[in-house]
Structure 1
Amino acid sequence: MEQAAGDEGRKTQDVLSVSVAYDGDPSCIGAARHLAIGFLTEVQAVHGLPVSERAMGMTQLVVSELVTNAVKYAPGPLMLDLQIIQGAVRVSVWDSDPVLPDIAATDPQRIGRHGLEITLAVSQAYEVRREPVGKRVTVLIALADDPGADIAGRTTP
């Protein structure tokens, strides 16, 4: 696995971020998960921002799903960007395949191909867009839990 890093730990105008390019080898999936956990751990320990266990787990899951899809469906390099923006972590994965992902039709017998469904279920926002080369998938995940909210995010009295 080759890894090239740029802008690691960059803080510009109160935005913390890390960006890494991978060659698309399957071993980069684990490396990307470790990068995400290390980044959020540093955000909490060094910069004092609250990061819930849920946010740690969901970020690791989303990074794993997005990078796995890039490795599986877009041979070649990919880029992972993580940014802290307004109380959320912004996960962005670029790959070289211009085909936009879609959710598979509901089928209780289907094994696999649930990554996008999972990603949509645990994120606050989701965007996919074509780039001049390939596409970029971006997801927002809240850093802190809302103790007064139910599972749908509604505040309880």
Structure 2
Amino acid sequence: MYVGERYEDRHLFTELAVSVSAAFEGSEDIADSRAMSRDFLHALQRVHGLPVSERAMGAVQLVVSELVTNARKYAPGPCLLTLELREGCVDVTVWDSSTAVPLLMAPDPERVGQHGLEIVTALCRGFEVHREPVGKRVKVTLVLADDPGGDPAGRQTL
């Protein structure tokens, strides 16, 4: 994906790789990033026969939307989204040009807005931030299949 080229104009999934990447530059691209993640997960099911629960389908799209929105809101220039299949999980990585590390705020039901990172960390198995020579990468890992007993993937009930 090249900056300025619309996601729907690409045929990224004709031969599925275990990872895909795209650059996004405008706020209208947030919907395209969600569509890319949905198409990637559907292709994992269709081509590779991998289980992707409805919960995981929604969670990955929500995480992608939150991370790309933050990158577009707080960093100048384009951001790069990469989705990668790894050991029954999908790694969602977003690079942007800002070196500012996102801060996870304490839960506060009185606060209006700024709950995105809370949501992301609640849904994921792993969350990492790495500073790069230019900018940073935020990497989130989500499990694709729920537990056969019905527990949300990667989590156990107490």
TM-score by length of 1: 0.87
For 1:57, the aligned partner's letter is G
Residue 4 and residue 98 in structure 1: after superposition, are their counterparts in 2 closer, same or farther (change >3 A)?
Answer: farther
Match of 2:126 in 1: 125
Question: 1: CA distance between counterparts of 2:107 and 2:21?
Answer: 34
> In the alignment, what sits opposite 1:20?
22
SS in 2 for 1:82: strand
Amino acid at match of 1:113: Q
Q: Tell me how large the CA RMSD over aligned residues is.
A: 2.3
Is the contact made by 2:99 and 2:134 (CA closer than 8 Å) also made in structure 1?
yes
1:40–1:97 Cα change, 3 Å: same
Alpha-carbon deviation of 1:150?
4.3
Q: Which residue of the partner structure matches residue 60 of structure 1? A: 61
Distance in 1 (alpha carbons) for counterparts of 2:120 and 2:43: 23
Separation in structure 2 between the aligned mates of residue 63 and residue 81 of structure 1, nearest angstrom: 10
Alignment of 1:5-154 (within 5 A): 8-9=12-13, 16-23=18-25, 25-148=26-149, 150=151, 153-154=155-156
Percent identity over the alignment? 52
Post-superposition offset of 1:107:
2.8
Q: Kindly provide the CA deviation profile for residues 85-106 of structure 1, in whole angstroms up to 9, marking residues without a partner as x.
A: 0000100000000000001244
Would the alpha carbon gap of residues 150 and 143 (structure 1) be closer, same or farther in structure 2, given more than 3 Å must change?
Answer: closer
Structure 1 residues 141 and 26 mapped into 2: Cα distance closer, same or farther (>3 Å)? same
- Is the 1:20–1:81 Cα contact (8 Å) retained in structure 2? yes
Q: Deviations over 1:63-94 (max 9, x none)?
A: 00000000000021100000000000100000
Give the SS at the match of 1:3. Answer: coil
Higher strand fraction (1 or 2): 1
Flag structure 1 segments of 5+ consecutive residues without an equivalent.
none
